[in-house]
Structure 1
Amino acid sequence: MKKKWAFIFVSSVLLCNATIVLAQTEPEEIKVDGDKFQDLFYESIFQKSIENYDKSLVALEQCLKLQPNNSTIYFEMGKNYLYSKDYKNAYSAFEHATQIDSNNKWFWVGLYDVCYETKDFNQAINIVNKIIPFDAEYKEDLVSLYMATKQQDKALALINELNEKVGKTERREMYKMEILSEGKYENSEADNLKVLIDKNPKEESNYIALIFLYSNNNEEDKAQEVAKKLEKEIPESVWAQVSLFKNYLDKNDGANAVKSMNIVLASTKIDSKIKHRILNEFLLFANASPQFVPDLDKAIDYFKNDPKVNVAKEIGKFYHNKREWEKAIKYYSLSEKNSSEVDLETSLLWLQANTELKQFEPVAKKAMALIDTYPAEPQFYYYAGMANNQLQLYKKAKDILEMGMDYVVENKNLEINFNIQLGEAYSGLGDASKKELYFNKANQLLKEKK
Structure 2
Amino acid sequence: MKIKPIFLSLLIFGFFCNPKAMCAQDNPLTDDLGNVSDSFQDNFFEALKQKGIENYELALNALEKAEVAAGDNQANKAVVYFQKGKNLAFLKRFEDAEKNYNLVLEWSPNRLDVLEALYDMYYDTKNYKAAIPLVKKLILQDTDYKEDLANLYHRTKQYDKALILLDELDKEWGETTYRNALKTQIYRRTGNTEKAINKLEENITKNPKSEQEYLNLIYLYSDQGNVQKAFDIAKELLKQQPNSQLVHLALYKFYLDDGDFDKAITSMQVIFSSNLIESNSKNSVLKDFLIFTNNNPTLKIKVDGLITDVLEQDNSQVFLLLGDYYLSESNKEKALFYYKKGIDSDPDNYGLIKNTILLQIELEKYKDAILLSTDGLEIFPAQPLLYLVNGVANNELKNAEQAVEILEMGLDYLFDDPKMEYDFYQQLSIAYTLKENAKKANIYYKKATQLSITNQKTDH
TM over 0.5: yes
Contact 1:282 1:296 in 2 (8 A): no
Equivalent in 297, 301, 320 of residue 307 of structure 2: 297
Over 6 Å off, 4+ runs: 136-151
* Distance of aligned partners of 1:396 and 1:200 in 2 relative to their CA distance in 1, 3 Å threshold: closer
Q: Counterpart of 1:245? A: 252
* Distance of aligned partners of 1:161 and 1:176 in 2 relative to their CA distance in 1, 3 Å threshold: farther
Q: Counterpart of 1:416? A: 422
Residue 188 of structure 1: CA displacement?
Answer: 1.6
Q: Counterpart of 1:202? A: 209
Secondary structure of residue in 2 paired with 1:238: coil
Q: Counterpart of 1:440? A: 446
- Once residues 274 and 344 of structure 1 are traced to their aligned partners in structure 2, the CA distance between those partners, rounded to angstroms, is 23
Contact 2:407 2:424 in 1 (8 A): yes
* Distance of aligned partners of 1:160 and 1:357 in 2 relative to their CA distance in 1, 3 Å threshold: farther
When the two chains are superposed, the root-mean-square deviation of aligned CA atoms in Å is: 4.3
- Once residues 212 and 431 of structure 1 are traced to their aligned partners in structure 2, the CA distance between those partners, rounded to angstroms, is 69
Residue 187 of structure 1: CA displacement?
Answer: 1.1
1:343 equivalenced with 2:369 (yes/no)? no
In the alignment, residue 176 of structure 2 is paired with which amino acid? K
Contact 2:200 2:213 in 1 (8 A): yes
In the alignment, residue 441 of structure 1 is paired with which amino acid? K
- Once residues 442 and 226 of structure 1 are traced to their aligned partners in structure 2, the CA distance between those partners, rounded to angstroms, is 64
Once the two structures are superposed, residues 375-397 of structure 1 have per-residue CA deviations (whole angstroms, 9 ceiling, x without a partner) of 66543332122123233444543
Residue 331 of structure 1: CA displacement?
Answer: 1.4
- Once residues 194 and 423 of structure 1 are traced to their aligned partners in structure 2, the CA distance between those partners, rounded to angstroms, is 73
1:212 equivalenced with 2:222 (yes/no)? no
Secondary structure of residue in 2 paired with 1:310: helix
Contact 2:234 2:250 in 1 (8 A): yes
Secondary structure of residue in 2 paired with 1:214: helix
Contact 1:156 1:179 in 2 (8 A): no
Equivalent in 174, 180, 185 of residue 188 of structure 2: 180
1:21-420 alignment, distance < 5 Å: 152=159, 156=163, 159=166, 163=170, 166-168=174-176, 170=178, 173-174=181-182, 176-183=184-191, 185-286=192-293, 288=297, 289-301=299-311, 303-304=313-314, 310-320=317-327, 325-339=332-346, 341-368=347-374, 370-371=376-377, 377-420=383-426
Contact 1:316 1:328 in 2 (8 A): yes
Secondary structure of residue in 1 paired with 2:176: coil
Residue 429 of structure 1: CA displacement?
Answer: 4.1
In the alignment, residue 282 of structure 2 is paired with which amino acid? K
Residue 250 of structure 1: CA displacement?
Answer: 1.7
- Once residues 213 and 348 of structure 1 are traced to their aligned partners in structure 2, the CA distance between those partners, rounded to angstroms, is 42
Contact 1:363 1:384 in 2 (8 A): yes
Return 5+ residue gaps in structure 2 as ranges.
1-105, 107-131, 134-142
Return 5+ residue gaps in structure 1 as ranges.
1-82, 84-115, 118-135
Residue 215 of structure 1: CA displacement?
Answer: 1.7
- Once residues 278 and 160 of structure 2 are traced to their aligned partners in structure 1, the CA distance between those partners, rounded to angstroms, is 30
- Once residues 431 and 142 of structure 1 are traced to their aligned partners in structure 2, the CA distance between those partners, rounded to angstroms, is 77
- Once residues 300 and 151 of structure 2 are traced to their aligned partners in structure 1, the CA distance between those partners, rounded to angstroms, is 54
Q: How many residue pairs are counted as aligned between the two chains?
A: 320
Once the two structures are superposed, residues 20-63 of structure 1 have per-residue CA deviations (whole angstroms, 9 ceiling, x without a partner) of xxxxxxxxxxxxxxxxxxxxxxxxxxxxxxxxxxxxxxxxxxxx
* TM, length-normalised to structure 1: 0.59
- Once residues 230 and 170 of structure 2 are traced to their aligned partners in structure 1, the CA distance between those partners, rounded to angstroms, is 22
